Amino acid sequence: MATDWHDLIAPPALPGLFARAAMRRQVTGKTLPSLGLRCTLSADADNLQRYRALCGFADGTRLPVTYPHVLAFALQMKLLTDRRFPFPLLGLVHLENRIRLLRPLGGLGPFTVSVHGDKLQAHPKGAQFSLITRLQDQLGLLWEGDSGILCRDIRLDGEPPESSQTESSQTESSPPDEFRLRELDRWTAPANIGRRYARLSGDYNPIHLSAASARLFGFPRAIAHGLWLKARSLAALESQLPPAGYAVEVRFHQPVRLPAELHLLASAAAPSGRLELLGEGQRLHMSGSWQPL
């Protein structure tokens, strides 16, 4: 199905989109709309500097590999709250995230940022779809993000596909020496990290902001943003990754309840590798890998 692209002259305002998300509670269909949104955007230098500091990225002339998600957040919100989108935003679960970095992200822009939905399929706990985000410049595609998202309030016909990334494949077999994991970094995720990340990213999901707001959605404490966990981990891996020409994917397992002590395990610097983010009692919160394109 061809994407029906809508070009915006400016990013949408977030307050109205949050209000729309709060009012929407019902599934309205079983197919994704053909709608796609595009907008020309540039990074804000002050926001970028504070993002680097919060996530642990070193200063430099290139955007951090996870920063395009921040650039695109308002477009993603507008797409997911559009009346044609069938699933209510509140309650969606971010299962996994894959980034492809084709060329170095030099400068602040301007970039053409686009978002659309794709790959709706059955899942053992509901239905899963991909939120596809792309960043382009005058030479073409620079960066692509694929966020796998679960809607638990719907069932689709057909068998769920087997996961390409399972815990058994990571734990039951002995990996080659170059893929053996060693502790690379450890840090504390403070109780207010959700609010601090929200101020930079625009993502004010109540489950991340405070224990009181998280309890409204069944969590005893606020939980960390998955994309902050990925960004903080890739910042620690920055010296092991090439400037471009690779893909990095992660799967989110158990949520990180704040505050938390976390430690990052990773294989040695190489074109391909693995990572795991562990918490108290060696609880697995995130696992992933990187490989050349």
pTM of the predicted protein model: 0.92
Give the single-character DSSP code of 64: P
CA quadruple 279, 236, 143, 85: dihedral, nearest 10: 20
Residue type, 161: P
Domains of the chain: 1-161 (3.10.129.10), 163-293 (3.10.129.10)
Please tell me the total number of residues recorded for the chain in this structure: 293
Categorise residue 92: left if φ over 0, alpha if ψ from -120 to 50, beta otherwise: beta
DSSP letters, 72-89, are HHHHHHHHHTSTT--S-S
Tens of pLDDT along the chain (293 residues)? 689 999 999 999 999 999 999 888 889 999 999 999 999 999 999 999 999 999 999 998 899 999 999 999 999 999 999 999 999 998 899 999 999 999 999 889 999 999 999 999 999 999 999 999 999 999 999 999 999 999 988 888 766 776 544 343 344 455 665 679 999 999 999 999 999 999 999 999 999 999 999 998 889 999 999 999 999 999 999 999 999 999 999 999 999 999 999 999 999 988 899 999 999 999 999 999 999 99
Contact 293, 245 (CB under 8 A): yes
